[in-house]
Amino acid sequence: MAYKDVYDSWKADPEAFWMDAAKAIDWDRAPSKALFDKGNDLYEWFSDGMVNTCWNAVDRHVEAGRGDQVAIIHDSPVTHSKREITYVELRNRVANLAGALRAKGIEKGDRVIIYMPMIPEALEAMLACARLGAIHSVVFGGFAANELAVRIDDAKPKAIIAASCGIEPGRVVHYKPLLDGAMELATHEPDFCVIFQREQEVAHLEEGRDYNWHGFQYGVEPADCVPVEGNHPSYILYTSGTTGAPKGVIRHTAGQLVALNWTMKNIYNVDPGDVFWAASDVGWVVGHSYICYAPLIHGNTTIVFEGKPVGTPDPGTFWRIIEEYKVRSFFTAPTALRAVKREDPNGEFVKKYDLSNLTAVYLAGERADPDTIEWAQKVLDKPIYDHWWQTETGWTIAGMPAGIEKLPVKVGSPSVPMPGYDVQILDEAGHPMKPGELGAIAVKLPLPPGTLPTLWNAEDRFRKSYLNQFPGFYETGDAGMIDEDGYLYIMARTDDVINVAGHRLSTGGMEEVLASHPDVAECAVIGVTDQLKGQLPMGFVCLTSGVNRPHDEITKECVKLVREKIGPVAAFKLCLVVDRLPKTRSGKILRATMVKIADSAEFKLPATIDDPAILDEIRDALKTIGYAK
Please give the C-alpha separations between residue 47 and each of 37, 229, 230, 257, 481, in angstroms, as whole numbers: 10, 6, 4, 13, 34
Structural element, H or E, at residue 439:
strand 439-444
Spatial separation of the C-alpha atoms in residues 252 and 149, rounded to whole Å: 25
Which residues, other chains included, contact 356 with Cβ-Cβ below 8 Å and sequence gap of 6+? Answer: none
Q: Please give the span between the terminal C-alpha atoms of the chain, in angstroms, as a whole number.
A: 60
The per-residue pLDDT for 586 is: 78
The per-residue pLDDT for 448 is: 98
The per-residue pLDDT for 618 is: 96
The per-residue pLDDT for 241 is: 58
Spatial separation of the C-alpha atoms in residues 414 and 421, rounded to whole Å: 14
CA 597 from centre of chain? 26
Q: Domains (ranges, CATH) in the chain? A: 87-226 (3.40.50.980), 496-624 (3.30.300.30)
Residue 458, SS3? coil
The per-residue pLDDT for 242 is: 52
The tens digit of pLDDT for each residue in 456-482 reads 999 999 999 999 999 999 999 999 999
Q: Which pairs from 593-596 meet CB under 8 Å and 24+ separation?
A: 594/524, 594/526, 594/540, 594/618, 595/526, 595/527, 595/528
Please give the C-alpha separations between residue 376 and each of 334, 413, 522, 542, in angstroms, as whole numbers: 10, 15, 15, 19
Residue 105, SS3? coil
The tens digit of pLDDT for each residue in 600-622 reads 999 888 888 888 999 999 999 99
pTM over 0.95, yes/no: no
Exposure pattern of 360-389 as b/e (b: 16+ CB <10 Å)? bbbbbbbbbbbbbbebbeebbeebbbbbbb
Please give the C-alpha separations between residue 85 and each of 60, 290, 303, in angstroms, as whole numbers: 16, 17, 11
Indicate if the alpha-carbon torsion angle 518, 409, 364, 593 is positive or negative: positive
Spatial separation of the C-alpha atoms in residues 68 and 278, rounded to whole Å: 22
The per-residue pLDDT for 244 is: 60
Among 112, 181, 96, CA closest to 143:
181
Angle 438-440-445 (CA atoms, 0-180°, nearest 5)?
Answer: 135
The per-residue pLDDT for 174 is: 94
The per-residue pLDDT for 532 is: 79
* Cβ proximity of 189 and 183 under 8 Å: yes
* Cβ proximity of 379 and 343 under 8 Å: no
Spatial separation of the C-alpha atoms in residues 122 and 138, rounded to whole Å: 9
Spatial separation of the C-alpha atoms in residues 227 and 320, rounded to whole Å: 40
Report the 10 Å Cβ neighbour count for 440.
Answer: 22
The per-residue pLDDT for 368 is: 85
The tens digit of pLDDT for each residue in 352-383 reads 999 999 999 999 987 788 889 999 999 999 99
Spatial separation of the C-alpha atoms in residues 158 and 13, rounded to whole Å: 42
The per-residue pLDDT for 49 is: 98
Residues of the chain scoring pLDDT < 50: none
Structural element, H or E, at residue 480:
strand 473-482
DSSP 407: P
